[in-house]
Amino acid sequence: MLEFMPLWMFLAVCLVIMLGYPVAFSLAGTALIFAAIGSALGVFDFAFLEALPNRLYGTMTNQTLVAVPLFIFMGVMLEKSRLAEDLLDSMAQAFGKLRGGLGISVVVVGMLLAASTGIVGATVVTMGLMSLPTMLKRGYSPRLATGAICATGTLGQIIPPSIALVLLGDILSSAYAQAQLNMGIFTPKTVSVGDLFVGALIPGLILVALYCTYIFGLAQLKPELAPPASDQDSQLSTRRLLASLMPPVLLIVAVLGSILSGIATPTEAAGVGAFGASILALLRRQMSVARLREVMESTVVVTSMVFMILIGAAIFSLVFRGFGGEELVTSFFEAIPGGVFGATLAVMLVIFVLGFILDFIEITFVVVPIVGPVLLAMGLDPIWLGIMIAVNLQTSFLTPPFGFALFYLRGVAPPQVLTGDIYRGVMPFIAIQVLLLAMLAIWPQLVTWLPAQLHH
């Protein structure tokens, strides 16, 4: 019974979080209570917690994590400067005469917004407020409209420069180094956030293409679900389209281009992005002292939440290790039939289910450090594993009845849109994401080819 203490602790944390307690304090509090119980029973040594100050100092001095507040600032600034709204109007007018044109516009704008903000909740809420009323007014089926918005909103998980990939890259680099040391390799290769960004590009674009193909195909088969716009709605000058399209595209090219070309690290590129977003807001006359204060307050709130969870997760993982949790996980994986495939499938299923109750930040900080070293020691490619986890979580966030994206959209959708419409609307998009996961499992080169080319 006592040898399963790590498992009981993990289940207790999930339960406490489901009861609605703040995640950071749930992680730290549950771990400390279990540490005290374990110490009283003689199965836990408090010396493990002496490593905590070093862990926290390591977090404070971690250059990669500096990218997090900068990318959040960039996203919030773009959101507040109404750039996305203008872009959606222009795209809707450009594609309006096509059947399903507005739906395709929503996906393309959502992709650009995801690349700019990288925060799932922010993208779903922004797209819901901006595009859902327009789509319903143009006669779109509530199911197709809500499904497209939810699915597009979750692109923030996978399309770089995503905050999910920044955090995942940081954790995976530590897990990869640890896995190699466990195997007796004392000059470990490294994996960076930049590698993960490059690896995510092709899967992200495939996913966007599949979404657009589905919407376009459905609009041809059932025109009443996605009618074209009337003539007066779709008059647009090329100049206006370029004026609204160029600023976000240039900003994304500057951020991603500097990382891919090796000119800048993700952290430096995040600085470029934050500065660029501020300049765009200034040029659009959307920058005032009050607006800047609002953006900075939002940035501080989200960043504080991320780092508080990181501290809670550090305490949790130390106590988990102190109870021999790593050995328990390793022996569990070795007992699963099917070798590496069986172990990977089991982890993906566990992460998928946990995605219903935990946000990507908690899963990245709590689950990945536990399972990552074991899977990587089995010979999996760290970049491929990172992208599989990101796409898997994205699918989990869409799946009824617990998907986070569904809750975000329900919060901003008009009352006439039923919860059942949202649930049924996301089903085809979930199928598309499962298809992408299968494609990445069958052809890992979709993830690994581009990073390998850039390393030559």
Place of tokens 């994590």: 65
Quick one: pLDDT at residue 120?
61
Buried b (16+ CB within 10 A) or exposed e, 291-310: eeeebeebbeebbeebbbbb
pLDDT at 411 over 70: yes
Q: Phi and psi of 351, rounded to 5°?
A: -65, -40
CA angle, 320 as apex, 318 and 326 as ends, to 5°?
A: 105
Place of tokens 């979404």: 211
Per-residue 3-state assignment (H helix, E strand, C coil) for 78-108: HHHCCHHHHHHHHHHHHHCCCCCHHHHHHHH
User: pTM (2 decimals)?
Assistant: 0.83
Cα–Cα dist 312/304, whole Å: 12
- Closest listed residue to residue 109, CA positions, set 253, 208, 192, 215: 208
Listed ranges 206-210, 232-236, 340-344, 418-422; the one with the highest mean pLDDT: 206-210
Q: What is the pLDDT of residues 275-318, one digit of tens each?
A: 988 888 888 887 788 888 988 998 898 888 888 888 888 888 88
Least confident stretch, 150-154, 231-235, 271-275, 343-347: 231-235
Pick from 82, 66, 72: which is nearest to 297 by CA?
72
**Cα 64 to Cα 192: distance, rounded to the nearest angstrom:** 9
| Residue 226: alpha-carbon gap to chain centroid | 28
| Distance in angstroms (rounded) separating the CA atoms of residues 102 and 88 | 9
Q: What's the pLDDT band for 122 if we cut at 50, 70, 90? A: low
User: What mean pLDDT, rounded, does the chain reach?
Assistant: 82
Taking the C-alpha atoms of residue 299 and residue 69, their distance in angstroms, rounded to an integer, is 6
> Where do we find the tokens 């869409």?
398
Distance CA 257, CA 198 (A): 10
**CA–CA separation, 395 vs 405, rounded Å?**
10
In one-letter notation, the amino acid at residue 71 is F
What confidence tens digit (pLDDT) does each residue in 94-114 have? 776 777 788 888 888 888 777
Residue pair 212/413 in contact (Cβ under 8 Å)? The answer is no
The beta-carbon contacts of 283-286 under 8 Å, at least 24 apart in sequence, are 283/247, 284/81, 284/82, 284/83, 286/80, 286/81, 286/82
Give CA separation, 58 vs 55, 64, 70, in Å.
5, 11, 19
Lowest mean pLDDT among 2-16, 178-192, 270-284: 178-192
What is the phi/psi pair of residue 131, to 5°? -105, -25
Q: Is residue 57 pLDDT above 90, yes or no?
A: no
124-175, pLDDT tens digit by residue?
A: 777 787 778 878 888 888 888 888 888 888 887 888 877 788 888 888 888 8
Residue 349, amino acid:
L
Question: What phi and psi, each to the nearest 5 degrees, are found at residue 444?
Answer: -60, -20
Q: Between the CA of residue 189 and those of 113, 173, 177, 192, 318, what are the distances in Å?
A: 33, 9, 7, 10, 25
- Per-state percent for the chain, helix, strand, coil, to nearest 5: 80, 0, 20
Task: Please give the pLDDT value at position 116.
Answer: 64
Give me the pLDDT at residue 13, please. 86
The candidate with the shortest Cα–Cα distance to 178, out of 372, 384, 387, is 372
Contact predicate 452/199, CB 8 Å:
no
Containing 122, the helix (H) or strand (E) segment is: helix 120-137
> Residues near 169 by Cβ (< 8 Å), separated by ≥ 6?
64, 191, 192, 193, 194, 195, 196, 197, 266, 386
The per-residue pLDDT for 237 is 65
pLDDT at 406 over 60: yes
Q: Is a pLDDT exceeding 90 seen at residue 435?
A: yes
Which amino acid, one-letter code, is at 94? Answer: A
How buried is residue 424: exposed, middle or buried, by Cβ count under 10 Å (0-12/13-18/19+)? middle
pLDDT tier at 267, thresholds 50, 70, 90 = confident
In angstroms, rounded to a whole number, what is the distance separating the alpha carbons of residues 444 and 438?
Answer: 10
Q: Are 429 and 395 within 8 A, CB to CB?
A: no
Distance between CA 265 and CA 242 in Å, rounded? 29
Mean pLDDT, residues 361-390: 86
Radius of gyration, CA atoms only, the chain: 22
